[in-house]
Amino acid sequence: MSLRFHAFEAASRKQPEPVAQPVGRPADYFGKFVFNQDKMFRYLPRETYRALRRAIEQGEPLSRDVADSVASGMKRWAVEMGVTHCTHWFQPLPEGTAEKHDAFIELDGKGGVIDEFSGKMLVQQEPDASSFPSGGIRSTFEARGYSAWDPSSPVFIVGDTLMIPTVFIAYTGEALDYKAPLKKSLAALDHAATAVAQLFDPAVRRVTCNLGWEQEYFLVDEDLCAARPDLMLTGRTLMGHSSAKNQQMDDHYFGAIPERVQAFMRDLEIQALQLGIPVKTRHNEVAPNQFELAPIFEECNLAVDHNMLLMSLMRRIARHHGFHCLLHEKPFADVNGSGKHENWSLQTDTGVLLHAPGKTSEENLRFAVFVVETLMGVWRHNGLLKASIMSATNEYRLGGNEAPPAIISAFLGKQLDELLDHIEQSSTETLFSMKGKRGMQLDIPQIPEILVDNTDRNRTSPFAFVGNRFEFRAVGSSANCASALIALNTAVAEALADFRERVVKRGGDMKAILETLREDIRVCRPLRFSGNGYSNEWQEEARRRGLDLETSTPLSVDRYLDEDSVNMFERMHVMNRHELQARNEIKWETYFKKVQIESRVLGDLSLNHILPVSMRYQTALAQNLAALKAIGASLPSWGEEGGVSLIDQITAHAAAIASEVDAMTEARKRANRIPSERERAIAYHDTVVPFLHSIRRHIDKLELIVEDETWPLPKYRELMFIR
């Protein structure tokens, strides 16, 4: 029996795994493995506790003494929890997280060892990071990088290891990770947004950014997955005819969660809660075997860490339940892909910023300002924002009829559209009538409660306003959330800074705000689109409006190096030109490597799996025909002269596969000789990727012809339906 049948049998027999029962209710075990405020209070001396809170809340640097004292309290807690090692945990480019574990020991100089965990180990380490991509930064400058604790993200425990969230920076100061520029983008946003919020209320001290991500994913049985080298090596199926039944009945979306999956989800939720990730929602998604998990939103930097942590938890816990968790954006053709919606909002230390109606017209005006300046940032940098979510894997998902189009536009909903239209059209004179201490009354129309559970939702929009936040839906399921947020935060910070400058020039009063706002509503109007983002007309219309239409990842990321983008990142102190260049090198390199792996796997499977079984089946057909002829029996229609026989169909597809695999290999070789990373990535996109599609088409046809018994790879109908 083939591996495929063994795998299918094993998968069919599996029962739900028992879930380790936690003691008590979520409130009792939430944050059990996190050195959170409560533990800081219990394990740190009062003075240290206060200094650490200041570092967390106001970003004050930690002195070495305080760090030593924090480390010693932390170690006491960790040792009580059975921890023996610690690691700096960081988010290197291009993806994933990295860790290097060190035991809590030092030689004591007398032939023994002592438990040791000093402030220095906590605050700064020098991982030998020479194998992480740096886009040339480390080779041209200093060879080493260091990681430094980010106290705004709490330390946590996984297994026997204390995990310390850190930034990862070259000795010359350039960021080699996502966290460092994310934190800088948050600082820029805080700075610019606070200055604008102060136009309305001088008491505002701080603006924080919140993020609530929704993570989509697929589960497949791990035995079946193991029989699919393409899934194992590339995270997606490079071939597979669609199942007769897939998502057309919408029965998965509304259906009950399969028991085995429910056991996995329960386990995942318990462990996530213990790590302080406030997971809340779970449900089936549209495609068979597709699911979603969402937490309660948190401060942006923490939410990003939690998403990274959750993705690694998902992979690990899935294995305990006999599943393989697929975070790839498009693991299966013909059914929906997976995204990661990023719900993004702003909040001052005194209230929320993207929620209407406020108590006064000033608050409503402030609401309009923050909405419009968000749109301004996105409008001005729509190409960059798209570049921030493009990747070799997300490229397969975008632009399908189930995913956001590869054009960034914004959907506001009817109420908000009307509000902005009103502000734009009314003149300053009619907007004001003298009244009250400020000498004026704003004629901002009464805003009805903008429903958060808005029925007025446009699922085809990549960037939509949803009541009290924007939802960026083009982000890929496997991405680090930070990539999109660095671009978004910086673009909005720049728009707010520009806005304030112009308002101040006009005198800084409400009239100045209104005039400037009206100007911006006009400028960013082309970004607003409430029609069908999947339609062909939208492509044409978007082109006329001047929106970015690029669909190739290697070309899309050029936007990072546009003068407009470089100026923005430099002016907002988020990244400099050199860092942007280096990061682009990494993006190009990652892109071509991923396509290269897919292409190699497809070539191998074609030659070693698909062609041999097809030929064997063809031989059987030919022998059957010969036998029929020998006894003078009438021949089946497909064997008759003149008809396109099954035998000939197999010959045609097999010949096409063989020659296209050859041509694809040649295209790869040509691309590999190109020295520039960018040009090589473009060559992979333009000359290798098309073969992935065309070879697959022939294989999928063969899958329908060749007898089921000998087909080596688990089919979609087997992979996609967990009982």
- Residues in the site for ligand ADP, rule: CB under 6 A? 210, 212, 214, 281, 294-297, 343, 345, 468-469
- Beta strands per DSSP E along 123-201: 124-125, 145-149, 156-158, 161-170
Nearer to ligand ADP, 169 or 354 (CB): 354
By a kind-dependent CB cut-off of 5 to 8 A, residue 200 interacts, out of Mg ion, ligand ADP, none, with none
SS3 state of residue 323: strand
Q: How far is CA 708 from CA 334, 464, 700, in A?
A: 21, 46, 13
Our CA dihedral for 486, 488, 490, 495, rounded to 10 degrees, sits at 180
**CB of residue 293 to ligand ADP, shortest distance in Å:** 9
Nearer to ligand ADP, 314 or 706 (CB): 314
CB burial of 138-151 (b: ≥16 within 10 Å; e: otherwise) equals: beebeeebbbbbbb
Nearer to ligand ADP, 343 or 374 (CB): 343
By a kind-dependent CB cut-off of 5 to 8 A, residue 212 interacts, out of Mg ion, ligand ADP, none, with ligand ADP
Spatial CB neighbours of 709, under 8 Å, sequence gap ≥ 6: 2
> Facing residues of 344 across strands?
211, 470
Instruction: Please report, as a single letter, which amino acid is at residue 356.
Output: A
Size of the residue set binding Mg ion (CB under 5 A): 1
Nearer to Mg ion, 321 or 340 (CB): 340
Alpha-carbon distance of 462 to 530, in angstroms, equals 11
**CB of residue 256 to Mg ion, shortest distance in Å:** 22
**CB of residue 498 to ligand ADP, shortest distance in Å:** 24
Give the other-Cβ count within 10 Å of 629's Cβ.
11
**CB of residue 124 to ligand ADP, shortest distance in Å:** 32
The closest residue (CB) to Mg ion is 341
Nearer to Mg ion, 340 or 518 (CB): 340
Alpha-carbon distance of 408 to 594, in angstroms, equals 25
Alpha-carbon distance of 678 to 589, in angstroms, equals 8
By a kind-dependent CB cut-off of 5 to 8 A, residue 480 interacts, out of Mg ion, ligand ADP, none, with none
Alpha-carbon distance of 330 to 337, in angstroms, equals 5
Nearest in space to 706 (alpha carbons), one of 640, 644, 616? 616
Give the other-Cβ count within 10 Å of 382's Cβ.
26
Nearest in space to 523 (alpha carbons), one of 531, 515, 533, 535? 515
**CB of residue 370 to ligand ADP, shortest distance in Å:** 12
Nearer to Mg ion, 148 or 466 (CB): 466
Nearer to ligand ADP, 281 or 427 (CB): 281
The closest residue (CB) to ligand ADP is 212
Nearer to ligand ADP, 145 or 295 (CB): 295
Nearer to Mg ion, 214 or 498 (CB): 214
**CB of residue 208 to ligand ADP, shortest distance in Å:** 10
By a kind-dependent CB cut-off of 5 to 8 A, residue 345 interacts, out of ligand ADP, Mg ion, none, with ligand ADP
**CB of residue 205 to ligand ADP, shortest distance in Å:** 20
Alpha-carbon distance of 614 to 604, in angstroms, equals 15
Instruction: Please report, as a single letter, which amino acid is at residue 438.
Output: R
Alpha-carbon distance of 470 to 479, in angstroms, equals 19
Q: Are 164 and 155 in contact (CB under 8 A)?
A: yes
**CB of residue 586 to Mg ion, shortest distance in Å:** 30
**CB of residue 281 to ligand ADP, shortest distance in Å:** 5
SS3 state of residue 465: strand
By a kind-dependent CB cut-off of 5 to 8 A, residue 290 interacts, out of Mg ion, ligand ADP, none, with none
**CB of residue 294 to Mg ion, shortest distance in Å:** 8
Nearest in space to 466 (alpha carbons), one of 296, 341, 379? 341
**CB of residue 452 to Mg ion, shortest distance in Å:** 11
**CB of residue 341 to ligand ADP, shortest distance in Å:** 6
Q: Element (H or E) spanning 216, and its range?
A: strand 207-221
Say which DSSP state 445 is in.
P
How do 340-348 and 410-411 pair as beta strands? unpaired
User: In the structure encoding, which two tokens stand for residue 504, read together?
Assistant: 């101040």
**CB of residue 475 to ligand ADP, shortest distance in Å:** 13
469 binds Mg ion (CB under 5 A): no
**CB of residue 297 to Mg ion, shortest distance in Å:** 11
By a kind-dependent CB cut-off of 5 to 8 A, residue 583 interacts, out of Mg ion, ligand ADP, none, with none
Nearer to Mg ion, 306 or 341 (CB): 341
**CB of residue 464 to Mg ion, shortest distance in Å:** 9
By a kind-dependent CB cut-off of 5 to 8 A, residue 554 interacts, out of Mg ion, ligand ADP, none, with none
Nearest in space to 69 (alpha carbons), one of 87, 55, 48? 48
SS3 state of residue 108: coil
Our CA dihedral for 21, 24, 29, 32, rounded to 10 degrees, sits at -80
**What x/- string results for residues 314 through 353 when contact with Mg ion is judged by CB under 5 A?**
---------------------------x------------
Nearer to ligand ADP, 117 or 218 (CB): 218
User: In the structure encoding, which two tokens stand for residue 353, read together?
Assistant: 């910023």
Nearer to Mg ion, 78 or 211 (CB): 211
By a kind-dependent CB cut-off of 5 to 8 A, residue 229 interacts, out of ligand ADP, Mg ion, none, with none
Nearer to ligand ADP, 161 or 415 (CB): 415
Residue corresponding to tokens 């700096």 = 88
Q: Are 337 and 397 in contact (CB under 8 A)?
A: yes
Alpha-carbon distance of 188 to 572, in angstroms, equals 6
Nearer to Mg ion, 241 or 355 (CB): 355
Alpha-carbon distance of 322 to 16, in angstroms, equals 9
SS3 state of residue 578: helix
Q: Please report the DSSP string for 511-526 in residue order.
A: HHHHHHHHHHHHHTGG
By a kind-dependent CB cut-off of 5 to 8 A, residue 296 interacts, out of ligand ADP, Mg ion, none, with ligand ADP
Nearer to Mg ion, 293 or 602 (CB): 293
Which stretches of 104-154 are DSSP H helices?
A: 119-123, 137-140
- Contacting positions for Mg ion (CB under 5 A): 341
